[in-house]
Structure 1
């Protein structure tokens, strides 16, 4: 799962572009009828323009909200395309991309991620972005106040003691109520499986027999769900920073334990740079400074900055080592004079688009399978506190599924032995999607290969970490279909140096 970041798609821009964007004709109402060809035109202003001579174009795909009632309500999926820059002989088809979440929109991502892809991939593929249902511009989910989640400063996200635990459970119940009220009859139809079906409708509308796919973080889960349902329509699939084949709540727990391990690495790293950061010369001293800052945020919240915002900053930073310096410097500045600037860059709770992200995140997770019981949520929080008195629980969004109004009976199916070989990529010490997930998922995708970036501690690898070993092997797979003979081991950059 990708940590939430500030996203700026403007709904008003979509309205303004509606007349400029070529819209689909009326969609057929029969389930067996083929999807009409996509018509592409101008994009909303929120979509960045690629560097010349490349261009981006946008369109809409009409799909049923509930596929068991194809004559009923339909929703529109926002789609973008950056055409391949090579010759017709170089073209390999389309490459759908997804940035993660769940909750992350992908229309703009087609432009931003494509710019980072190896040139051979850009020449070979039309890169296709889309906002999955419930996200961005595609029937966005609306959970309203989400049980007070957006209060600033919000309550401490880590309950200690029975009254606090009861208040925490009550807030989860209110969040579930708000999502049911705001999302209405769409609540049961915003699952990953339904998005996978939308992907296949998009494939058909593009006139492609198979689709290439690059999914990062939650995008890996989406890709595995597509492979489970449509294995014969999978082209070349890359799953980067892999979410394992667990229920979302179990995944969240694994992530929270990995964050504890990563935070210990951060403490030791900051201690080795005592002169630079001033937090102490040992991991224990840095931990003590960290805990002082965390207690201060709870005892004296100000200007919207409290313990929830502090933990969000830590969660965001631990997933990418290039953010560690700002986190260490931010803790020092906060302890020195209360300066919070470095502890709240690109706050994920800022703006309507980011609120849509948070809504979609819960709605999708809770639609993907059975949630925990309220008693288990409390028991697991206590277990985490026994591991460490001050864990980071920011990523445990699926706790709200304990109170969900629509309770699915089955988990999302992932992978298929009928799918072609898939390339999985993982950073050895990624705390957001621990490498165990990639190792587990590959069992559901026989013939797949795993590329491991060793000595790396960050989330997101291909066309992200600048590692030639990873990028060259992945480009060869996408362009030429070259599947590594065995799992590939690449050497990463290690921890940041001063």
Structure 2
């Protein structure tokens, strides 16, 4: 396996990189943001709340503001409280890279504690390259959208050569679709500048921020560039301060542990699912399904689609029942209808997401080598012969047409304390990432939801301990005296 980042060395390098970069000048907008009606893709909040949308023009490269410009789509749900209760703006990001932010202002706000809704104008925005903000298209992406897709776990020289060729084609498709001149600027760093441009256009002195998953990485990048513009910041389900490819490999290991937990849980409900009475028996049932779909895909549903369904299900325990039912349905009558919804992939939004995901990851820092992207899957297979490698998204960066020579700077000592929130057993963003990012944010605190196995915690898991601590920080600026541990829900009931 390629050498994973050593925490001390990486943290020191990131702090040094941040120190060498001058604090970014505050963004200046020529005109304020003008809001009006939103596109149909943005849901309407229940009355009396309202959502409004607008566009902000920003430089493609903020370091050269007189050059090419792009538009950023922005949404706003105004605070519902009195003027005395208002705390400013709360930008929100749902993750990705590639997640739509415009509707997220409405959907996430609906789940926030009432005190937060009363205190903040919730601001959504489609990051550059996504949705309504100069969306990118990578075309066929090396066959990524072909159904059934090629087995995502290359085994043997022939499969490895085909895998490398597909990653090479994906990089070429993105260069052709997005344009090689734009690739360096569709990055997290440039999106952080966009965030500050939104703040300036709204006439606000500080940026409150709630970022989930990739949104935590974006928030940490903003804190590195604009530490004195950071208001109250919450980073949920934290991406660690690693190169993206290293993150993908770490995630693939965490998914193995999560899948074993799923096997144990399914075995504990053997009467319900009929897949076996212990981990080994359930695993055999699981492998029978995957091997059957590899030998004979069902209506375009093969091993790639199966692994995608498993990947999505492992990240949220409320999806485990559907996954177990889907396995049983295939074994009893070769049906894949129960698995197919979790693997739904094609369509304009999915294509934009996948394109933006690769483009941002490859713009954020050095990519792997072709040697690494074929040897690492083999090393992971030595941990488990049949891993889930769906999350290895930065592999295409081995062939990228723009090769950054430095990684994105995150955090820094000048930023105020922030709250980091993590599920103890989240397989999508393993908790070690939150612990390492906290070292780059002095004075910050980590809130851990113990005995939990899902991705996304604050205003998502319904945990009063987490939600009250985060709300106290956002509304009143409370920073806990020490890290907080909240009792989690444990494994789900089998419905």
TM-score by length of 1: 0.93
Q: Which contiguous aligned blocks of 4+ residues in structure 1 show a shift greater than 3 angstroms?
A: 31-35
- Mapping 1:174-323, distance limit 5 Å: 174-184=169-179, 185-323=181-319
Secondary structure at the aligned position of 2:37 is classed as coil
Is the aligned partner of 1:144 residue 2:110?
A: no
Separation in structure 2 between the aligned mates of residue 223 and residue 253 of structure 1, nearest angstrom: 22
How far did 1:67 drift?
A: 2.7
- 1:80 pairs with one of 75, 81, 99: 75
User: 1:131-154: per-residue Cα shift (whole Å, max 9, x none)?
Assistant: 000111111111000000000011
- How far apart are the structure 1 equivalents of 2:75 and 2:146? 34
Matches within 5 A, 1:9-24: none
Does 2:307 correspond to 1:334? Answer: no
2:216 aligned counterpart, secondary structure: helix
Corresponding residue for 1:122? 117
Q: More deviation in 63-72 or 413-422? A: 63-72
SS in 2 for 1:222: helix
Q: SS in structure 2 opposite 1:58?
A: strand
Q: Contact 2:326–2:336 (CA<8 Å) still a contact in 1?
A: yes
Aligned position for 1:101: 96
**What is the alpha-carbon distance in structure 1 between the residues aligned to residue 199 and residue 313 of structure 2?**
36
Instruction: Give the superposition deviation at 1:338.
Output: 1.4
- Deviation of 1:32 (Å): 7.9
Give the Cα–Cα distance (whole angstroms) in 2 for the partners of residues 442 and 181 of structure 1.
Answer: 38
Q: Tell me by how many angstroms 1:40 deviates.
A: 0.4
TM-score of the superposed pair, with normalisation by structure 2: 0.93
State the secondary structure of the residue aligned to 1:341.
coil
Q: Does 1:131 align with 2:136?
A: no
Q: What is residue 13 of structure 1 aligned with on the other side?
A: none
Give distance in 2, aligned partners of 1:335 and 1:186: 48
2:490 maps to: 494
CA RMSD of aligned residues (A): 1.0
Question: Would the aligned equivalents of 1:35 and 1:204 in 2 still touch at CA under 8 Å?
Answer: no
Seen in structure 2, the aligned counterparts of structure 1 residues 33 and 493 have a Cα distance that, compared at 3 Å, is closer
Paired residue for 2:416?
Answer: 420
Deviation at 1:350, TM superposition (A): 2.5
CA contact (8 A) 1:35 1:201 kept: no
Shift of 1:360: 0.3
CA distance in 1, matches of 2:294, 2:283: 17
Shift of 1:346: 4.9
Shift of 1:437: 0.2
The Cα of 1:33 is off from its aligned counterpart by 5.4
1: CA distance, partners of 2:300 / 2:50: 41
- Separation in 1, partners of 2:158, 2:32: 57
- SS across alignment from 1:39: coil
Is contact 2:141–2:169 with CA below 8 Å preserved after alignment? yes
Q: Distance in 2 between matches of 1:479 and 1:141?
A: 37
Cα separation, partners in 2 of 1:238 and 1:35, compared to 1, 3 Å: farther
How far off is 1:454 after superposition? 0.2
Aligned mates of 2:382, 2:298 — CA distance in 1: 30
Distance 1:216 1:425 in 2: 9
Choose which of 392, 397, 404 in structure 2 pairs with 1:396. 392
* 1:69 to partner: Cα distance: 3.4
Q: Where do 5+ consecutive residues of structure 1 fail to align? A: 1-30
Give the deviation of 1:186 after TM superposition: 1.5
From 157, 160, 168, the counterpart of 1:162: 157
* Match of residue 465 from structure 1: 461
Give unmatched runs, 5+ long, in structure 2: 1-25
Q: Does 1:386 align with 2:382?
A: yes
Contact 1:430–1:458, Cα closer than 8 Å, also in 2: yes
Quick one: which of 171, 186, 197 aligns to 2:166? 171
Who is 1:64 aligned against? 59
TM-aligned CA deviation for residue 341 of structure 1? 1.3
Aligned partner of 1:373 in structure 2 is 369
Alpha-carbon separation, structure 1, partners of 2:252 and 2:468: 32
Q: Deviations over 1:384-429 (max 9, x none)?
A: 0100000000000001100001000100000011111100000000
